[in-house]
Amino acid sequence: MSKLRHVETLTSAPVVGQRYLVPTVLYPWFGSTEAWPVMGPKHTDAEHIGFDVPHFHVDVRFLSDAQVRRIERRRNFGDIESIAAGYPLATSHTGSEAEPHPEPVFRRLTCRRPGHGYPRHAAGARQGLRALAAAYAGRKCGRNGAGLLVCPHKGFVLGSLEPDAERRVVCPLHGLVVDVATGSVVGGGACAEAA
């Protein structure tokens, strides 16, 4: 029986080249319907960011090289982290009918690239990200049942992120910066202080 770790139970960054259980959603993204690795819960971002379409965020750590090539062929600017941050896996439509996202399915996927640094130039919603950072400044993260820090914004479990030298992690969903020693939000906005 496999002993693969579920990526949301990790207490350090996934190791490139090793396999993990990763949530995936079979859904169209950049014109290709396939099982995309996702992270965090499905949500909307009407508040602060002004994007009220239900969406997941793609976990670039677990995209295959072929998936990255398919995406980059269709968006010939920026790196894959910037593309993923700026273009979530949002509800698409067939005619006027919204196609609901299926429930995530866990798959055994290899970590292909190191963790997230929220790209400074990723989102057209930078003003919204700054408003989000201001609204959440000083807020405390909760902890899940396993004791891992959970981002107070939309509930991303922060355990699989590698802290920087100042013991900070940047939530890959919308760029809030968390001091893992205190569990408090200390920055964000996808700008200099978030690096």
Q: Which residues contact 53 (CB under 8 A, 6 or more apart)?
A: 44, 90, 91
Toward ligand FES, which CB reaches closer, 62 or 156?
Answer: 156
CB 195 within 8 A of CB 117: yes
Distance from the Cα of residue 130 to its chain's centroid: 18
Residue 69 DSSP code? H
Q: Examine residue 120 and tell whether it contacts ligand FES (CB under 6 A).
A: no
Q: Examine residue 176 and tell whether it contacts ligand FES (CB under 6 A).
A: yes
Q: How many residues bind ligand FES (CB under 6 A)?
A: 10
Site string for ligand FES, 37-66 (x = CB under 6 A): ---x--------------------------
Site string for ligand FES, 125-164 (x = CB under 6 A): --------------------------x-xx-x--------
Helices (H), 48-175: 65-74, 80-86, 126-136
Report the nearest approach of ligand FES to the CB of residue 154 (Å). 4
Q: Examine residue 174 and tell whether it contacts ligand FES (CB under 6 A).
A: yes
**Where do we find the tokens 């992120």?**
161
Toward ligand FES, which CB reaches closer, 40 or 128?
Answer: 40
- For residues 82, 85, 86, 90, the Cα torsion angle rounded to the nearest 10 degrees is 140
Toward ligand FES, which CB reaches closer, 20 or 136?
Answer: 136
Site string for ligand FES, 11-30 (x = CB under 6 A): --------------------
Choose, by CB under 6 A, the member of 22, 38, 157, 173 that binds ligand FES.
173
Report the nearest approach of ligand FES to the CB of residue 61 (Å). 16
Among candidates 72, 18, 40, which has minimal Cα distance to 172?
Answer: 40
CB 45 within 8 A of CB 51: yes
Supply 119's token pair: 């790209």
Among candidates 143, 147, 186, 145, which has minimal Cα distance to 163?
Answer: 186
Report the nearest approach of ligand FES to the CB of residue 149 (Å). 11
Interacting residue ranges for ligand FES, rule: CB under 6 A: 40, 151, 153-154, 156, 171, 173-176
